[in-house]
Amino acid sequence: MKNIRKNVDDLRSQIGYHNYRYYVLDDPEIPDAEYDRLLRELQSIEKEHPELITPDSPTQRVGALPLKEFGEIKHKLPMLSLDNAFDEQEVSDFDRRIREKLGLDKIEYTAEPKLDGLAVSLLYENGILMRAATRGDGMTGEDITQNARTVPSIPLRLIGKDFPKLLEVRGEVYMTKKGFEQLNERAREKGDKEFANPRNAAAGSLRQLDPKVTATRPLEIACYSIGIVEDGKMPARHSLILKKLREWGLRINPEIKTVSGAKGCMEYYQVIAKKRDGLPYEIDGVVYKVDSIEQQNEMGFVARAPRWAIAHKFPAQEEMTVIEDIEIQVGRTGALTPVARLRPVQVGGVTVSNATLHNEDEIKRKDVRKGDTVIVRRAGDVIPEVVSVVTAKRPKGLHKFEMPTQCPVCKSEVEKEEGEAVVRCVAGLYCPAQRKEAIKHFASRRAMDIEGLGDKLVDQMVEQGLIKDIADLYSLKKEQIAAMERMGEKSAENILKALDKSKQTTLARFIYALGIREVGEATAQTLADELGSMETLRHATEEALLELPDIGPIVATHIIAFFSEKHNRDVITKLQKAGVHWEEGKTTAESDVLKGQTFVLTGTLSAMTRDEAKDRLQALGAKVTGSVSAKTSYVVVGTDAGSKLAKATKLGVSILEENEFLKRLSHWEK
């Protein structure tokens, strides 16, 4: 048995090495037939000795059963997006900002093509692939582990021994032009629908619920960075990190190059632009990253993008067509977005029939009218937009476009804040376009805490017409819930119990659950503490609201607009009639030990959740907010703390590590 195990290990090692030669180095040592012989020999031994099969065996790339749905994975370190540059001046400005911030004359950058695919995260533990996730919204992605395992250029086990115990690798999964054409050729032969472009094909292939389908798709990966690293040391330069990833068997783009200054970036851009059409894959620009990791850390981040990296996009392709109509779409947050319905036109190889007009201000600035001939481009090679109007071709008598004064979906009033471009429907509790998001927020843990009422269930109920507004939740019948997909009588009973339990709440939770714009938990608590009743809040004037702590004119305007809409008031009345109740009267904290002090929690606490810490601090009279400012009293820091810690340090705010926080909390609660 010992000899058999050794033979299996040798075969796996050989196959791993030849995968590395083929996919990473693009320099195979043996013909395909010899590789197939090694794989068949391993499969034969594992069939006779299934106890020797391991998850990282080359034979185990495909084999998992189809999923019913993808699970969610929260990224410990956010997968940030990049800011864009569209011309040489913006690249020069990017370089200048970095030089000024770091006090240096010249910066070294790593430059690489910007692949047009799907960003993914691969987590290796002790060199073995344990998990794969999509980027998602940057904070949470989908668990695509089984599908990622089918991609031949994603190693199931790393090569070598000097990799960290825990290593998160980030890359772009894409489809080559040749693979895309072959995929569509097969679709045509079967009479199936063809994919629009390689990016859509790659994204759709990686998000198949059946990994066996994904395994038939010609997917590849190019790794471009790392995320979480534990128990291991990485090089001090980004270019050397990529080189190290390559040594461990991870594929990187062969066009990566280290360049010097803005001039070096532009020279690289010109070279890649000339190569673009001849490359075997689609790209929509190039990416520049500060090469020094120390300098990256010093530059830090702004909003959801790093200051030390930028995507330099290629010029978008443009075409001319006619606007046949202008329609208004209402988004999940109530934003009214004008959309141009176009006479279909080919732009960059894709048929475009719709284009965004962004907002009312943009329409007025460009003077876009129904019937106009316009120039359309796919901004960033992805989102179609109207660039300009060809006024010389404008027919006589076209009327100027006017934004509606009522929501086209629910006929409620709309509002537009001073200084904002977006027009919004204020009937958040009533408007069908906002219905799903309003219900999901209402049921969330920090709002009404309706356990078991997840996103998928809400989607089903709304789509089947069982819920017209949040108050309808409390009139649901057991048989209606039990009839939902993946539900039954027991699950339905649990949902009804959770709904009944949620009827007894607090005024602060209820206010927060209503989803009024800009009214978060802290503001909801202030309104409950200071006003004491829903009736007082409903009739509060702007002047009265502005007298409350931390209530500014924008928040006051949103509150007034929300309660001035009859639909919203009716839903609240309906909820109260359904039995939702709370104690009224101005509230006070259990203690005023921390009255007047403001806390911010960041990172993961080991002794309690952040929500538990927040509740205990508020019980002591403290205010707990989500952002750090000069007025913040303390920032409580757990593991994997992010930008809030950096900002607190910069502002000189007092920082409490978890152990110190627990000691003080114990003292404050005595």
C-beta of residue 239 within 8 angstroms of C-beta of residue 178: no
Copy the structure tokens of residue 151.
């991609």
Copy the structure tokens of residue 486.
């993946």
Per the rule left: phi > 0, alpha: psi between -120 and 50, beta: everything else, 236 is: alpha
Per the rule left: phi > 0, alpha: psi between -120 and 50, beta: everything else, 419 is: left
Closest CA to 254 of 241, 242, 237: 242
Could you tell me the maximum CA-CA distance found in the chain, to the nearest angstrom? 88
C-beta of residue 548 within 8 angstroms of C-beta of residue 618: no
DSSP secondary structure letters along 455-486: HHHHHHHHHTTS-SSGGGGGG--HHHHHTSTT
Burial of 476 (0-12, 13-18, 19+ CB in 10 A): middle
Amino acid at 428: G
Annotated active-site residue 74? The verdict is: no
Alpha-helical (H) ranges within 433-587 are 435-443, 455-463, 478-482, 489-502, 507-513, 521-531, 534-538, 542-546, 553-564, 566-577
Backbone angles phi, psi at 197, to 5 degrees: -160, 165
Distances (CA, A) of 620 to 211, 225, 507, 593, 638: 52, 44, 18, 6, 21
Strand order from edge to edge, sheet including 118-125: 128-134, 118-125, 166-175, 219-230
User: How far is Cα 422 from Cα 519, in angstroms, rounded to an integer?
Assistant: 18
Reduced to 3 states (helix: H, G, I; strand: E, B; else coil), residue 437 is helix
Closest CA to 165 of 228, 111, 213: 228
C-beta of residue 288 within 8 angstroms of C-beta of residue 94: yes
C-beta of residue 286 within 8 angstroms of C-beta of residue 70: no
Closest CA to 515 of 446, 606, 609: 446
E-strand spans in 466-580?
A: 504-505
User: Which single residue is written with the structure tokens 């400005």?
Assistant: 93
- Hey, CA dihedral for 593, 587, 603, 519, is it positive or negative? negative
Q: How, if at all, do strands 128-134 and 84-85 pair? A: unpaired
User: How far is Cα 336 from Cα 350, in angstroms, rounded to an integer?
Assistant: 26
E-strand spans in 359-464?
A: 373-379, 383-389, 414-416, 423-425
Residue 646 half-sphere exposure toward CB, CA atoms < 13 A = 9
Rg (CA), the chain: 29
Alpha-helical (H) ranges within 176-302 are 177-190, 198-206, 211-214, 238-247, 261-275, 293-299
Out of 114, 313, 440, 647, which one is annotated catalytic? Answer: 114
CA 231-232-237 angle, 5° bins? 145
Supply the residues annotated as catalytic: 114
